[in-house]
């Protein structure tokens, strides 16, 4: 489709996003927040960590979303006996040719669902870390670039601890957002029950966007403007997690062990632009930043044992920071 103007192009891709959301909604009920964040991840190139109890449609949502996009997709079930070679691939000896050949693993896709990612040991986590950060894989002595776009959507169960391995903080920081999922409301739960109880329910969805569409949407999001005052506001929010006492947050200072990394500022900027684009604007508002602040900061603020003992959560800390830190004119 040939688009004549920048406005037509922007409108076309905004409508594409809405079509994807509607198509996913034919299968997934009541998870608009999760679908929105997953789409933001895809459209900005940021990895997403989904955390929630079983039965909240985490895997179903990712699977369905992948089907609406013309992208290479692989689901990897992480288990304690998983090896790095099962993820990235390995060298195999070809007896007929008398040499070693590379057999690429499932990570060579656009879209990776790392199901129950915290069930794999540290050596597998290290292999995934290179894929996520460097967008490349090293097999033997050769480094292979991964396709663009490349995105890891990982799920983990916060309840079950047996047979799990804590994710390294360095890897958790590579996830642009960590999404905490809660139970559905009664109406949504009723609709899910009715759909799934019907054994003839059709889970098929249509492809809405292509790989080129995803890359074009990224370009459109990159064109969204953000004022200097809001850029500085983002920096102030991040610094408030590191030096809370300087922002009049003495109580919070006693609970924070480590504040957010530089990636937090980068991702707040990027995701706020995506939120503005999704809301049919070509400029960022303070509300865009505040709406996604928890998703980006919650896994980057490390609380101490005192906070745990007193039942203080990262959500409470972030809410207080958003109340106390003001926007100053550039």
For residues 197 and 270, what is the distance between their CA atoms, to the nearest angstrom?
40
For residues 49 and 273, what is the distance between their CA atoms, to the nearest angstrom?
20
Q: Which residue has the higher pLDDT, 257 or 73?
A: 257
For residues 123 and 1, what is the distance between their CA atoms, to the nearest angstrom?
46
Least confident of 46-50, 94-98, 293-297: 94-98
Q: Could you tell me if 147 and 72 are in contact, meaning their C-beta atoms sit under 8 angstroms apart?
A: yes
Gap between the terminal Cα atoms of the chain: 41
Domain ranges of the chain: 46-195, 224-324
pLDDT for 160 equals 58
Of the CATH numbers 3.90.78.10, 3.40.50.300, 3.40.50.150, 1.10.8.80, which one belongs to the domain with range 224-324?
A: 1.10.8.80
For residues 223 and 37, what is the distance between their CA atoms, to the nearest angstrom?
20
Of the CATH numbers 3.40.50.300, 3.30.365.10, 2.40.50.100, 3.40.50.150, which one belongs to the domain with range 46-195?
A: 3.40.50.300
Per-residue pLDDT band at 143 (split at 50, 70, 90): confident
Residues 161-188 have pLDDT tens digits of 555 777 777 778 889 999 988 888 898 8
């Amino acid at each position: 489709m040939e688009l004549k103007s920048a406005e037509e192009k922007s409108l076309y891709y905004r409508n594409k996003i809405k079509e994807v959301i509607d198509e996913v909604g034919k299968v997934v009920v009541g998870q608009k927040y999760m679908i929105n964040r997953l789409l933001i991840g895809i459209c900005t190139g940021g990895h997403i960590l989904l955390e929630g109890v079983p039965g909240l449609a985490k895997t179903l949502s990712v699977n369905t979303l992948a089907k609406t996009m013309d992208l290479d997709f692989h689901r990897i079930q992480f288990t304690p006996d998983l090896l790095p070679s099962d993820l990235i691939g390995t060298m195999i000896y070809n007896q007929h040719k008398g040499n070693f050949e590379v057999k690429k693993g499932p990570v060579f896709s656009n879209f990776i669902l790392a199901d129950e990612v915290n069930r794999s040991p540290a050596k597998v986590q290290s292999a995934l870390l290179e894929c996520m950060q460097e967008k490349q894989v090293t097999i033997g002595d050769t480094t292979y670039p991964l396709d663009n776009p490349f995105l890891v959507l990982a799920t983990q169960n916060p309840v079950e601890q047996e047979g799990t391995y804590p994710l390294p903080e360095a890897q958790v920081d590579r996830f642009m957002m960590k999404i905490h999922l809660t139970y559905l409301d009664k109406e949504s739960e009723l609709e899910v029950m009715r759909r799934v109880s019907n054994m003839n329910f059709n889970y098929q969805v249509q492809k809405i966007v292509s790989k080129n569409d995803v890359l074009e949407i990224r370009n459109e999001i990159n064109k969204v403007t953000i004022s200097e005052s809001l850029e500085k506001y983002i920096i102030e929010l991040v610094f408030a997690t590191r030096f809370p006492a300087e922002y009049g947050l003495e109580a919070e200072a006693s609970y924070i062990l480590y504040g957010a990394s530089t990636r937090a500022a980068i991702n707040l900027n990027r995701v706020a632009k995506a939120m503005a684009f999704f809301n049919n604007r070509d400029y960022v508002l303070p509300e865009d930043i505040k709406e996604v602040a928890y998703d980006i900061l919650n896994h980057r603020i490390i609380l101490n044992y005192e906070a745990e003992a007193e039942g203080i959560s990262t959500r409470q800390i972030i809410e207080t920071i958003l109340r106390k830190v003001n926007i100053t004119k550039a």
